[in-house]
Amino acid sequence: MRTDTNQINDKIKKILPIIMATSIFMQMLDSTILNTALPSIAESLNESPLNMQNAIISYVLTLALFMPASGFLADKFGTRKTFILSLVLFSLGSVFCSLSQDLTQLVVSRVIQGLGGALMTPVGKLAMIKTYKKNELVKALNYAIIPALIGPVLGPLLGGYLVDYLSWHWIFIINIPFGIAGIILGMKYMPDYHSGETHFDLKGFLIFAAASLLLSVSLELFGNTQNITPILMIFILGFLLFYFYYRHAKKATNPLFPLNLFQVRTFRVGIVGNMVTRLGISSVPLLLPLMIQIAYGGSAVISGWIVAPMALTAMFGKNYVIQILNRFGYRKTLYYNTIILGILIIFLAVPGIADSLYWFVPIIALMGFFNSIQFTSMNTISIADLRSFHTSSGNSLLSVNQQLAVGFGISLGLLILNIFETQTNLISGEIHNAFRYTFLTIGLLTILSSNVFKRLHFADGNNMKTVE
């Protein structure tokens, strides 16, 4: 006969993936739902839709900056308290977003959301790793991440319908029931793990965070002012702080991100490839809904339906990644796949203002498929040759790098759009042409970024080929 303790543990093992799934769904929905709603929010707040990027970048940047602190906080204060705190912060941030009266209030509210999001998924994943045996973990994680696949499909569609038939405030209010459900389940079923030894490189964290923030701010400000001198100063200061982090990491016993990670060539190529490739790809899910609504005059619902296939084909593409890698290897796959993605982005510049909006659907559907191959391949090659004692810090840096790349990519895409928007002779006074030239530019940049993957050897990643 089982003991009460065994019954409690069995109950936790059944409920924990549901708790994790709830938080992932809420976070993934929030990450994708905003793109189709930005023009409506901009109109309500008396802002230009092209100046609303801070509402997205502030969230992504906060995720990137505070993710490295999640493990330390969970070890020190326990997984249960930290996870519940993350849900409270995310839910409060959602409430504040829905009540925002101007862009500044919305950005501050998104930062609060980001603080919650930065802790939510890493701490939930840590609790699952410590709860399940190795032979149970993969099945539990696969169950928990299903919402990560569904969220990006529902996000654009749900955002479109909420904006057109209710109001933009509901894209944030919808998070609150999920947050409350997660808090109640977390208080009852989230296991509370602590670590006897806790170490956190606070100095390294502050230097790295400040450097990332300054680089992001400089990129955002570049297209919004005539005087570039102070922006260049901010940009240079950001790079100087990265140099100071390098000096710190050389001397520190347990740095935030050990420098010897970069002695592993596949990790180095994977990190750089993640950054430069995402600079082009990351802005497309924002730029396309903006173009549909601003240039074509389409509704939020229409833009949601046009963007949604990207997530559906990404789910489909995930089933073929292993077969493609096994046949062509990482070097060829990443090199040619990046070129294909660049060409598809350029194709978005082809339709004229008189063409049907639905011309974009097959392009976006193909992009979703090749995006899935790209991201899975880049992520797996990055950790392929890491030693076991480097896996945690390497994976953490990879996650931070991805979020920073998304933020930088959105900033760069809108910066290029703002530059073309001011060239009235070039675009013949048509905002649609500014979008077309932007897609052409970021498509070419994506094609050029494929050269990073030439640094891989033909045999790189052979030890990962059969791993899903």
Write the secondary structure of 100-146 as one string of H (helix), E (strand) and C (coil). Answer: CCCHHHHHHHHHHHHHHHHHHHHHHHHHHHHHCCHHHHHHHHHHHCH
Residue % of the chain over a pLDDT of 90: 10
- Give the number of other CB atoms < 10 A from CB of residue 467: 10
**In the predicted model, what is the mean pLDDT of residues 163-174?**
85
Higher pLDDT, 446 or 52: 446
The pLDDT value given to residue 90? 92
Q: What is the mean pLDDT of residues 276-284?
A: 86
The reported pTM is: 0.80
| pLDDT of res. 445 | 93
Q: What pLDDT is stored for residue 198 in this prediction?
A: 66
Q: Give dist(CA 438, CA 415) in Å, integer.
A: 9
* Whether pLDDT at 162 is above 90: no
The residue among 393 and 380 whose pLDDT is bigger is 380
Percentage of the chain exceeding pLDDT 70: 88
Say if residue 57's pLDDT is above 50: yes
Angle at 99 (CA atoms; ends 184, 155), nearest 5 degrees: 65
pLDDT value of position 2: 41
CB 100 within 8 A of CB 111: no
Tell me the mean pLDDT in the region 407-429: 81
CB-CB neighbours of 431 under 10 Å? 17
Question: By three-state DSSP, how is residue 313 classified?
Answer: helix
Lowest model confidence (mean pLDDT) among 99-108, 128-137, 183-192, 333-342: 128-137
The span from the first CA to the last CA of the chain, in angstroms, equals 38
pLDDT band of 462, cuts 50, 70, 90: low
DSSP state of 259: G
| Spatial separation of the C-alpha atoms in residues 466 and 103, rounded to whole Å | 47
pLDDT on residue 466? 47
- Domains in the chain (CATH in brackets) are 1-192 (1.20.1250.20), 202-255 (no CATH), 258-468 (1.20.1250.20)
- The pLDDT assigned to 36 comes to 80
Find which of 24-38, 199-213, 244-258, 332-346 is predicted with most confidence, using mean pLDDT: 332-346
Q: Are 400 and 64 in contact (CB under 8 A)?
A: yes
Helix axes 103-131, 53-66, angle to 10 degrees: 30
Q: 17-31, 173-187, 263-277, 331-345: which has the minimum mean pLDDT? A: 17-31
pLDDT of residue 342: 93
Give the Cα separation of 146 and 201 in Å (integer). Answer: 34
Residue 467 pLDDT greater than 80, yes or no? no
Which position has the higher pLDDT, 57 or 94? 94
Per-residue model confidence as pLDDT tens digits over 347-392: 998 888 877 888 888 998 898 888 888 887 887 787 777 776 666 6
| Res. 340 pLDDT band, cuts 50 70 90 | very high
- Give the pLDDT mean for 148-167: 76
Most confidently predicted of 143-147, 175-179, 388-392: 175-179
Residue 297: what are its φ and ψ, rounded to 5°? 75, 20
Q: What is the mean pLDDT of residues 149-165?
A: 76
Least confident range of 18-22, 50-54, 119-123, 142-146: 142-146
Q: Rounded to whole angstroms, how far apart are CA atoms 57 and 306?
A: 23
Higher pLDDT, 372 or 444: 444
* Structure-derived torsion over alpha carbons of residues 112, 218, 169, 298, reported in degrees to the nearest 10: -150
Query: Which whole number is the average pLDDT over 191-205?
Result: 77
CA distance linking residue 422 with residue 428, whole number of Å: 11
Q: Are 344 and 395 in contact (CB under 8 A)?
A: no
The pLDDT value recorded for residue 148 is 63
HSE-up (13 A, CA, CB side) for residue 397:
22
C-alpha 311/C-alpha 372 separation (Å) is 9
Q: At 142, is the pLDDT very low, low, confident or very high (cuts 50, 70, 90)?
A: low
Q: What integer is the mean pLDDT of 299-305?
A: 83
Judged against a pLDDT cut of 70, whether residue 126 lies above it is answered with: yes
Token output for 17: 């993936």
Contact 272, 409 (CB under 8 A): no
| Cα-to-chain-centroid distance, residue 386 | 23
User: For residue 99, is pLDDT > 80?
Assistant: yes
Which pLDDT score is estimated for 468? 42
